Chains A and B, each alone.
Chain A
């Protein structure tokens, strides 16, 4: 198996799981959260009176989910922001040609495939997408039950086999590599490509069609109860309502498979609330709060701007499973390496 494939595999996994938790940095005196830019803006309404979120929006940004070590402010000055963006762009770029042939080959999945909008920080110059807690980081985790420790160890083992180029079978792949769910799964986090979301509305519904995978998240607004708890879904079951101009949605009924919920929080106690607010003609604020007392010491919240795409651009179909050659290449490569006696 080539190094390129290993890198691709690792990449896919990082897309799936978001950033891995790092130990929380010691709390610093929090800088007061600047209010989002407030220009007088009247949110448009649909003909049937709901706030109008229809259109194609893109959530790409280089602003990291968690505040990088060494950054002690939540909002940067213009000058600091320019430096931060430049640093991030340099780190993210795959066309740097500065690491010699091996590194270059590993970066062959290069800018051509990537969403260039992911190289810009958010307009409000934040250092992290997380806005609560104030340190901009995912809260520390609580000790896991022995069963969940075991499940996590099993997944780590599968990931290690995969990254070593020796997956035993398709179950060693993450859900994104298997094209089951990807970043169409909540909470929506920016990734390397396919950051578009097409929002449709009809009386009684909001529907979010993410570019990734091609699924549609159909959100009834008629206050019907959630699906019975016996029914479980990969993307859960979503219900919504309006709070003023904000669409508030709650999602339950997640399947219990490894990798379905962000950071493998516990499906029994995990809660996710997402809020969508039109804050300007070309921007929606997307905010999510997740909590799980079995996983994190406290709830946390992130805010990600969704920007309307250029009207001359279109969101196209993304087929994944239909031509998932990688899966065969990874496995046949592993079998061929085993035959040659390679174990690492």
Chain B
């Protein structure tokens, strides 16, 4: 009798603590709250205002990558090294055409070189990030810098990025095509339910996706989807299409995190002065040394 009472108590205790234990099992992946209803603007659309940042390592490589030394470990040691990371590409691999894959590898080999001595070959070498050029889309969204979405009551949204103070204007329900290619592209937005969908064309062919040399042509077409999944997270997805370079459209996705510091604000990362010696140093007057 006494034994069975103890037994029943033990079973009840086990039942009581079981949910807590099962939540700690390694099988449970992080989850956003189900059926989250975001805060709204006056027009009824979700309020995406805030300062956001990605915490993936895709800026080093969109695909799986081990931790790696930077281009000049003999000078900067571990400072230039990149963290390991898992692919943010659906299915893991970017579907390059064979000749395009060769070009990507060549880009990587030349990622830390620059030669601006001839106008026509100005953009041939080096990761544009290293030269402090505007990063284009989607790269701007997963660089290790915050960006701010400014959503008001006009037909335009602004995305302001800390990296080289770049900006892009999202034109809502806009018909007109890109008048000319630009570094941050031509962004036209619309709402699909509670998701902000941004269609990006007209990007300069010179931008890269990462330091691994992943690239595109002037036919790049990116469709982005921003969905609030909690007060503190946006889920970001982008479908990337470029028939010159890839065999089929491909997709990336990752969460954007709201920066919660009370005093958070975008600071300046005006990187031009960090590139001038690299780009223009060889044209300096040599006698008497640099001033």
8 Å CB contact of B284 from A55, A233, A331: A331
Q: Are A168 and B284 in contact (CB under 8 A)?
A: yes
A75 to B125, CA, bound (A): 56
Query: B153 interface residue, CB < 8 Å from A?
Result: yes
Chain B 57-78 near chain A by CB (<8 Å), digits 1 or 0? 0000000000000000000000
8 Å CB contact of B263 from A55, A224, A331: A224
Q: Are B290 and A317 in contact (CB under 8 A)?
A: no
A177 to B43, CA, bound (A): 43
A327 to B122, CA, bound (A): 12
8 Å CB contact of A338 from B43, B122, B285: B285
Q: Are B280 and A170 in contact (CB under 8 A)?
A: yes
Given contacts A170-B284, A328-B116, A331-B280, A218 and B265 within 8 Å (CB-CB) = yes
Query: A112 interface residue, CB < 8 Å from B?
Result: no
Query: A203 interface residue, CB < 8 Å from B?
Result: yes
A224 cross-chain contacts in B, Cβ below 8 A: 263
Interface residues of A in 310-333 (CB under 8 A from B): 314-317, 319, 321-323, 325, 327-328, 331-332
Q: Are B263 and A200 in contact (CB under 8 A)?
A: no
Given contacts A168-B284, A316-B179, A317-B184, A207 and B119 within 8 Å (CB-CB) = no
A205 to B265, CA, bound (A): 11
Listed in ascending order, the chain A residues whose CB lies under 8 Å from chain B are: 46-48, 52, 54-55, 168-172, 178-181, 198, 200-203, 205, 207, 209, 213-216, 218, 220, 224, 227, 231, 233-235, 314-317, 319, 321-323, 325, 327-328, 331-332, 334-335, 338
- Could you list 19 A-B pairs, sorted by A, with CB under 8 Å? A52-B153, A54-B152, A170-B284, A171-B291, A180-B272, A202-B150, A202-B152, A203-B49, A205-B150, A215-B167, A316-B179, A317-B184, A319-B183, A321-B164, A321-B272, A322-B206, A327-B280, A328-B280, A338-B285
Q: Of B133, B152, B263, B284, which is in contact with the most chain A CB atoms at under 10 Å from its CB?
A: B152
Listed in ascending order, the chain B residues whose CB lies under 8 Å from chain A are: 41-43, 49, 116-117, 119, 122, 128, 132-134, 148, 150-154, 156-158, 160, 164-169, 176, 179-180, 182-184, 204, 206, 263, 265-268, 270, 272-273, 276, 279-281, 283-285, 290-291
A52 to B153, CA, bound (A): 9
A166 to chain B, nearest CB (A): 8
Q: Are A321 and B133 in contact (CB under 8 A)?
A: yes
A55 to B155, CA, bound (A): 9
Given contacts A215-B165, A321-B133, A323-B122, A334 and B285 within 8 Å (CB-CB) = yes
Interchain residue pairs A-B with the least CB separation, the first 8: A47-B42, A331-B283, A169-B284, A216-B160, A215-B165, A317-B182, A168-B285, A54-B154
Q: Which residue of B lies closest to A331 (CB)?
A: B283
Q: Are B134 and A322 in contact (CB under 8 A)?
A: yes
B157 to chain A, nearest CB (A): 8
Q: Which residue of A lies closest to B276 (CB)?
A: A170
A203 to B40, CA, bound (A): 12
B158 cross-chain contacts in A, Cβ below 8 A: 198, 200, 207, 209, 216
8 Å CB contact of A332 from B160, B266, B267, B283: B283
B143 to chain A, nearest CB (A): 16
A198 to B150, CA, bound (A): 12
Q: Are B160 and A209 in contact (CB under 8 A)?
A: yes
Given contacts A54-B154, A200-B152, A213 and B165 within 8 Å (CB-CB) = yes
Q: Are B270 and A180 in contact (CB under 8 A)?
A: yes
B281 cross-chain contacts in A, Cβ below 8 A: 169-170
B264 to chain A, nearest CB (A): 10
A200 cross-chain contacts in B, Cβ below 8 A: 150, 152, 154, 156-158
Q: Are B49 and A202 in contact (CB under 8 A)?
A: yes
A47 to B152, CA, bound (A): 9
What 14 additional pairs, Cβ within 8 angstroms, besides A54-B156, A169-B285, A322-B134?
A169-B290, A171-B291, A180-B272, A200-B154, A200-B158, A201-B154, A207-B150, A216-B167, A231-B267, A317-B183, A321-B272, A325-B119, A327-B279, A331-B284
B180 cross-chain contacts in A, Cβ below 8 A: 316
Given contacts A317-B183, A322-B133, A218 and B270 within 8 Å (CB-CB) = no
A52 to B154, CA, bound (A): 10
A283 to chain B, nearest CB (A): 17
Q: Are A214 and B285 in contact (CB under 8 A)?
A: no
A328 to chain B, nearest CB (A): 5
Q: Of B43, B134, B272, which is in contact with the most chain A CB atoms at under 10 Å from its CB?
A: B272
A169 to B43, CA, bound (A): 53
8 Å CB contact of A178 from B148, B179, B265, B272: B272
A58 to chain B, nearest CB (A): 16
Q: Are B167 and A201 in contact (CB under 8 A)?
A: no
Given contacts A216-B160, A335-B283, A209 and B42 within 8 Å (CB-CB) = no
Q: Which residue of A lies closest to B116 (CB)?
A: A328
A231 to B291, CA, bound (A): 26
B134 cross-chain contacts in A, Cβ below 8 A: 214, 317, 319, 322
Q: Are A48 and B156 in contact (CB under 8 A)?
A: no
A334 to B285, CA, bound (A): 9
Q: Which residue of B lies closest to A255 (CB)?
A: B268
A319 cross-chain contacts in B, Cβ below 8 A: 134, 182-183
B167 cross-chain contacts in A, Cβ below 8 A: 209, 214-216
B151 cross-chain contacts in A, Cβ below 8 A: 202
B207 to chain A, nearest CB (A): 10
Q: Which residue of B lies closest to A203 (CB)?
A: B49
